[in-house]
A and B are shown apart, each in its own frame.
Chain A
Amino acid sequence: MAPLSYYFILSAVLFTIGTIGVLIRKNPLIMFMSIELMLNAANLSFASFARARNLLSGQVIAFFVIAVAAAEVVVGLAIIVSIFRSRQSVDVDDVSMLKG
């Protein structure tokens, strides 16, 4: 079995990729996927810390995060679909009536 530290490093790398993805990509779907990557990085980190400390709670917390992320997907995709219906495009640069 790979040493536990590999898992922490992997989760940090995933989180970084996710963060950069949200910051540089323009398509809401890809941005949303990057956000999911950040959440799954957190899940991996919860599970491996639970393993490292011989606790169960971290794995349970990961389930909570999964459930919350699922609820977020439902709402997020609905919003993206409704935007696509009214504009035929979902690029965030097109969604810029409100200047800020």
Chain B
Amino acid sequence: MVDIIAPEIDAGALTPLFVVAAGALIVLLLDLFIPPGRRSFLGYFALGTTLVALATCVPLWNNGRLAFSDMVRVDNFAIFFAIVTLGATALSILLAIDYIQLADINLGEYHPLVLFTAVGMLLLVFANDLVLFFIGLEILSIGLYILAGFIRGNRRSEEAAIKYFLLGSFSFGFLVYGTSLIYGASGTTNFTALATALGDDQVRTSPLMLVGLALVLVGFGFKLALAPFHSWTPDVYSGAPTSVTAFMSVGTKVATFAALLRLVLTGVPTLRENWAPALWALAVVTMIVGNVAAVTQRNIKRMLAYSSIGQAGYILVAVVASDSPRRDTSADAVQSVLFYLLAYTFMNIGAFAVVIALARVGRERLDLTTDYVGVARRHPFLAGALAFFMLSLGGIPPTAGFIAKLTVFRAAVAADYWHLALVGVITSVIALAFYLRVIVLMYSRADEEIDDLPRSVPAPLAVVLAVCVLMTLQMGILPAFSLDWAQQALFVVSR
């Protein structure tokens, strides 16, 4: 008879996750008791939940530990990403409060689904095991499949849902099968144990291990919308409700990049001759495809979709640079990933916030060539904000996007990947074409006066815009604060 020893459960390590999950369940229940006319209360409750979860992150800072039989790793790196994903969730909830009334999708399930998706993102961020990682990814994805198709009866939204669903589960198949091969080669799925097992030459050179890692990277490629696995992105981003697009373009990327860094730096650092060239190629293709395809887009949501593909390429450059054997170079590269994702969160959510602010009941202003001409005359502040976010996404000083690109390219050059930095600079110049085009259109004179613009900006949306503009500006003018914060989040990651 073998004695079964119950594993020690350190639930405190995952407080933010539990808070969000409990909040989601409570919102789901509250929906039963709240009359339909007062549903926006649910949104504010969900927002409160994410703020409480943010507060519970604070005591975990500098208080890192492994928990749940090493399945979960709570360290400053994880907490940094937990704070960014929760911040993105809070901003997305604020974005949605008025938008879902406008789009007539103000159902009680919206906010719980957003919170459940946030639970999946947090699980990804804290995961120290491939199994927990793919469970987190599925919790996140299942929530987003539903949210993408949330406008029932709307064909575009349904199409977005089915495309996202089919390609998402396809990539999940690759991820799980790849995990099973890695398990077969090394006998473990735990990142820490994997690193130990890879000390053995036989494991390191085993074809099972390499094929498994390749399949897992394909799965990552789909989820991060890296070219050539990006084909679903523009359709899903443009068909989904705009508030959902904002949420998934930011939240998914932040959480999945966290997991990718965790995998390559703590799980398989010794295989860097294998993953670094693969990610190198993905980064080059992604930067080129994303930025070139965005130039021809007429729909602003499709343009922002391609732009987000291009941005993922730049972040990937820094991930590649983190393979440097020199410790401080590698740490600088990881720091630039963190800073870039933080900047990307604010500038991308901000851009979508303006698109939402210009929407009216039954009609969103999405067509760049007609809907955005002359907007600046009626809404100087909204146009100014969108122009500012476009400059930031394009990497023009004094914005967060400029500092982010600068740190990424500097890290790439320091790690002897100057050709990646070169491709990055060239594609950034191409990218200016479509970012600046939006600004030019907004400030050009309209042939006829547009009169169906909304008169005012609802308060929650104004808060989101203010936060995003201030943060983008602050990170652009005084980046030291955010860079220091990212620096402190590194200590466990660096080898």
- Max chain B CB contacts within 10 Å: which of A18, A83, A92, A95? A95
Are the CB atoms of A72 and B187 closer together than 8 Å? no
Contact of B131 among A53, A64, A87 (CB under 8 A): A64
Number of interface residues of A (CB under 8 A): 45
The stretch among B147-155, B249-257, B389-397, B426-434 that forms the contact with chain A is: B147-155
Let me know if B355 is at the binding interface, CB within 8 A: no
Are the CB atoms of A65 and B176 closer together than 8 Å? yes
Binary A-proximity of B113-153 (CB < 8 A = 1, otherwise 0): 00000000000000000010011001000100110010011
Are the CB atoms of B138 and A86 closer together than 8 Å? no
A53, B197: Cα distance in complex, Å? 14
Are the CB atoms of A98 and B165 closer together than 8 Å? no
Are the CB atoms of A97 and B155 closer together than 8 Å? yes
Are the CB atoms of B177 and A75 closer together than 8 Å? no
Which label, helix, strand, loop or mixed, suits the secondary structure of the A interface? helix
B166 contact set on A, CB distance < 8 A:
22, 28, 31-32, 35, 92
User: If the complex has contacts A61-B131, A100-B234, are A39 and B173 also in contact, measured as CB distance less than 8 A?
Assistant: yes
Let me know if B239 is at the binding interface, CB within 8 A: yes
Are the CB atoms of A49 and B184 closer together than 8 Å? yes
Are the CB atoms of A72 and B142 closer together than 8 Å? yes
Which label, helix, strand, loop or mixed, suits the secondary structure of the B interface? helix
User: If the complex has contacts A38-B177, A61-B189, A68-B138, are A87 and B162 also in contact, measured as CB distance less than 8 A?
Assistant: no
A1, B81: Cα distance in complex, Å? 49
Closest to B181 in A: A45
Contact of B170 among A35, A55, A68, A83 (CB under 8 A): A35
Are the CB atoms of A98 and B131 closer together than 8 Å? no
Query: Which residues of chain B have a CB within 8 Å of any CB of chain A?
Result: 131, 134-135, 138, 142, 145-146, 149, 152-153, 155-156, 158-163, 165-166, 169-170, 172-174, 176-177, 179-181, 183-184, 187-189, 231-232, 234-235, 238-239, 302
Instruction: Supply 11 further A-B pairs (C-beta < 8 A) apart from A15-B173, A58-B180.
Output: A19-B173, A28-B166, A31-B166, A39-B172, A39-B173, A68-B134, A68-B135, A71-B142, A72-B169, A98-B235, A98-B238
Query: Which residues of chain A have a CB within 8 Å of any CB of chain B?
Result: 8, 11, 15, 18-19, 22, 28, 31-32, 35, 38-39, 41-43, 45-46, 49, 52-53, 55, 57-58, 61, 64-65, 68, 71-72, 75-76, 78-80, 82-83, 86-87, 92, 95-100
21 CB-based A-B contacts, threshold 8 Å:
A18-B173, A19-B173, A38-B176, A42-B176, A45-B177, A45-B184, A55-B187, A58-B180, A58-B183, A61-B183, A61-B189, A71-B142, A72-B172, A75-B145, A79-B161, A82-B149, A82-B152, A83-B158, A83-B159, A98-B238, A100-B232
